[in-house]
Each structure stands twice: as structure tokens, then as C-alpha cells.
Amino acid sequence: MKKLSTYLLFIILFLLPSQSWSHEIRPAFLQIIQKDSDTYEVYWKVPRMRDVIPPIYPVFEEGIQLNRLMRPQKSIGASFSKYELVAEIPLEGTAIFIDGLKKTLIDVLVSVEYLNGERSTMMLQADQDTGLIKGTASTLQLAETYTVLGVEHILLGIDHLLFVLALLLICKRFKKLLGAITAFTLSHSFTLTLAVLGVIYIPTPPVEAVIALSIVFLAVELIKNLEGKESLTSKSPWLVAFTFGLLHGLGFASALHEVGLPQVEIPVALACFNIGVELGQIAFVSVMLAVFGLFNRLSNVSLMVKKIPAYMIGSVAFFWFIERIAAFC
């Protein structure tokens, strides 16, 4: 581009919280399953922030006792614990509090399954760390919860946003940009659906590594574009967006699997999560186009300065690639 917009735009992104660079901030998941009149199984998953497990814990009202059945088990992306909950009072209508949540950026998805098949789903956040457990959740409440999860996933997933940003910088014509974004949306929606339904399965670590590599590829393509050379992405952006979108869809699916899905309403949860992802993506693209328009009035800069965003995007993405490869080697 002939203006300073790309440089200033990336500086804005570069100043975003560092803990969200490599991986999106994923929610914690508290699943409560009733086994008899007063006993429940409890599964507690907390996402790892780099090598640290945030010290957050569920706390229930007096008369509800939580007994640990299994020591926390650590995986690449989270810590898992199993408990038995014994309720001397009805669980419905009682309060649940997440201790330590105010000091984090983590959301907590709480899911309760009763013996009669009813379900309750709610989201707790840093500014709302206490909630009441309901007897059942409406389809509308479920839809709202998973739509918000989708929006948060894309807006806090800096690797996905950098991929879209690179596409924006390469596609100078609106028609090409629209085609690329549409292709990206269709392809990641396709693999997201297949992966969530169990039709296909690819381990998460290799997928995340290749997602980082896709951003490196676009950074190289952007440099070629700035030098006036024709590249695959500049000629057929929709093809590149569609191809790599298949991988990004698998990344979205792994995040949704970690959060958890209500077994009786998977289609609703899946559709709303995907809608949330699209809403977040549309919001990001709209803001970036507005920023482009704002800074396009600034004076021309040298070719070297124009390349700075591409080099920064490529360097950060390559660091993620090495980091993710090392995580499973």
C-alpha cells in the first residue's frame, strides 16, 4: 500500500495484551452431572496461560460439599480435575462463585445436567464471577452463550486475526477481498462442522503449527506484493483463503471441543458458535477497513517502511510455529 496505514495498524495490534499473542484466551469449563438425588460428578478444566495454571476455583454455597476425586492432570493446553459434589440442599437456585476470576481475563462456562434430562448453561466472567444455577436453560440462553464464545474466540485469537489482516493488506480491490473473506468463511465453517460432529479428526498441535505457518506464507506473499511482484495470493486470494481456511476451521473446532458441547443441542451450539466467529470476523474487518481509510490520507513512505508490518507478522508467526512444533516434539 502507498500509505502509512499498514505500519500504524500493526503497531496497534502489536500493543495488544501479550498473553493472547500465541493462543487465544480460552474459557475454563465446569461440568456438573447429576448421578442421584444428592450426588454429582464435577469436571473442572482450566486453560494454561503459557506454563502457568491460573489459580481459580469453583466455590458453592454452604450445604454443598466438593470432594476431589482426582489430582489435577496437566495437558498441553489445560489442567483437568475431577470432583464429587454432595448437595444437602437442592442445587437448583444456589449460587456458584469462581474464586480468583476477577484477577484474570478468563471466562468460565458452567454446564449442569440433571437426572431428568434438563440442562443449565451460563457464563461467568471477571466482572461477573457469581451466578445462580438454574434448573433448565432455554434454547435462546444456550444460543446466546455459544454466540458470545464464538465472538470472543475470534477476537482473542490473534493468530486467526493476523491471517485475515494479511489478506486485507494483499487484496487491494474490494471485490477480491470480498471473495477471499467469503471463501475463508465457507471453508472454516465446513471443517469446523465436520470436526465437531466427529467426521474428521486431526490432533490439535500439528493443526496449530500449520496455522502459524499459513500466516508466514501470507507475510512472504505480502512482501512480494509490495515489491510489485505477482503472487499466488494476489492472483487468486480466494483459493489461498479457502485452502488455509480449512485448517483454521480445525483450530476453531479444537477450541469448541475444549469448551464442551451440550449433547442434546449440538446443532444449536455449533451453529451459534460459528455465527459468533463470523460476527467477530466481520467486526474486525470493518474496523480495519475504517483504519485504512483514516490513515490513507497520510503522506507516502519508503518501501522499507511499508515492509515493516509484513516482517513483523512473519516473524511473530514463525516464532509461534517453532513454539508449537516444540510443544509436541
pLDDT digits (tens, 9 = 90+) for 114-160: 887 777 888 898 888 999 888 766 778 778 888 888 888 888 788 88
Q: Do 92 and 136 contact (CB within 8 A), yes or no?
A: no
pLDDT score at 329: 61
Q: At 114, is the secondary structure helix, strand, or coil?
A: coil
Cβ–Cβ contacts within 10 Å for residue 149, how many? 22
Report pLDDT for 152.
82
**Average pLDDT of 240-264?**
81
Please tell me the predicted confidence (pLDDT) of residue 297: 61
Q: What is the pLDDT of residues 78-90, one digit of tens each?
A: 788 899 999 988 8
Total length of the chain: 329
pTM here?
Answer: 0.69
At 17, the pLDDT band (50, 70, 90 cuts) reads very low
- Share the mean pLDDT of the chain: 81
Q: What are the helix (H) ranges across the chain?
A: 5-14, 139-156, 158-170, 174-196, 204-226, 232-235, 237-259, 266-295, 303-328
Give the residue, 300 or 29, on which the prediction is more confident. 29
- Is the separation of the CB atoms in 178 and 238 below 8 Å? no
Mean pLDDT on 254-279: 79
Per-residue pLDDT averaged across 8-23, rounded? Answer: 43
Please determine, for residue 202, whether its predicted confidence score (pLDDT) is greater than 90.
no
pLDDT for position 295: 66
CB neighbourhood size of 259 (10 A):
22
Per-residue CA distances from 212 to 8, 145, 160, 179 (Å): 23, 28, 9, 22
The more confidently predicted of residues 36 and 259 is 36
